[in-house]
Every structure is written in C-alpha cells, then in structure tokens.
Amino acid sequence: MKVRQFDSDILWNNAYKILMALTLIAVALAIPPAVNAESTPKTQRPVHEYMVVYKSPTCGCCGAWVDHVNEAGFSTKIHHPKDMNTIKDQLGVSPVYQACHTAAHSGYVFEGHIPADVIEYFLAKKPDALGLAVPGMPMGSPGMDTNGNFRPYQVLQLNNDGSSTPYAKVSASKTMYLGKN
C-alpha cells in the first residue's frame, strides 16, 4: 500500500480558488441591478427592504406603532439615535410636520403615527413625494390608541418642495383618501 504524501501547496491553491469564487459571488450580489433611466425617480433616496425606524428607546407609543406596522407585515430595523432632530433634518422632515418617531422605507420617509394601511396604499402608488406625516400624536392613531379615545386626524403628503398636501383623513370607522391619490 502506497501512502499519499500531504501537499500543502495543493491545499492552499484550492482554498485560494474557493475564496476567490466566493468573493466574486459576493461582489456580484452587491452590485445593484441596472435601472432604466425613464423609470428612475427624480430624487434618489436609499431603498431598503425593511422599514428603518428612528425612535427613543424609552418611548412606549413609538414601540406600539412599531408593533402595529410589524403586525401589518412590515419588517423593521430600529435605531435609537442620540439626536432625533438631526435625523429628521437629514431626511427632510420640517419641524412643522414632526412627531415622536421617523421611519424610512422604499426611498420615502414616514413621520409619526401613520396607519400601516395608509403606508401600504402610498407605497403602491409610488408618488413623486418625500413621504407621509402625521404631525404630533393624535389620540386614536396607531400607538396612541389607548383608553379607546379617538379623534379624527389627517395624514399629510410631504412634497419634495417642502410643502404638504392632505393625503388621507382617518376617522374611527374608515380612511378617506383625498386629492389625486
């Protein structure tokens, strides 16, 4: 019986080939697909498959809103920045439209206690806009729906020019979409 001698050069050569193949696969997966120039939105924003939520780690209503969007089928990634105002400013949310938490998904920003079904409707339409906002913390909105109290409120579309347009009116029994939605 002949004993085969261990050849470290062959082992390292094969390991190198495997490492290079895995590197090429990783690079190929990281390159974004080509986009037709006609379908490129006017403003380029990062697109994520999950909803990135910026909130205070101690805010209960923000946590309840995250639970609401997760139950509706969104996947969330939570961040607790030290300075929420900087995040809101970077995402283009003017102080007049701000609430306690800010989310980003599919290149849009979602400020405050917006119902998940309104976000889904908005994402299906893909408007040329910055996103949606529910300024403040309206009673009865998702995350603020404690004690059974409810007050009708509006969801605003945040336009790219810094203005807003009424997007939807939420009442206790239904959501009515407004304007050119």
Domains of the chain: 47-177 (3.40.30.10)
If you ran DSSP here, which 8-state letter would residue 160 be given?
A: T
pLDDT tens-digit series, residues 26-85: 444 443 433 333 333 333 434 447 899 999 999 999 999 999 999 999 999 999 999 999
Strand-pairing partners, residue 176, are: 169
CA 141 – CA 61 distance, rounded (Å): 10
| Torsion over CA: 100, 158, 87, 83 (sign) | negative
pLDDT tens-digit series, residues 81-118: 999 999 999 999 999 999 999 999 999 999 999 999 99
Residue 168 is predicted with a pLDDT of 96
Residue 170 is predicted with a pLDDT of 95
Confidence of residue 11 (pLDDT cuts 50, 70, 90): very low
pLDDT tens-digit series, residues 116-147: 999 999 999 999 999 999 999 999 899 998 77
Residue 154: what are its φ and ψ, rounded to 5°?
-105, 145
Long-range contacts of the stretch 69-75 (C-beta < 8 A, 24+): 69/103, 69/116, 69/119, 69/142, 71/116, 72/116, 72/117, 72/120, 73/116, 74/50, 74/105, 74/116, 74/119, 75/49, 75/50, 75/51
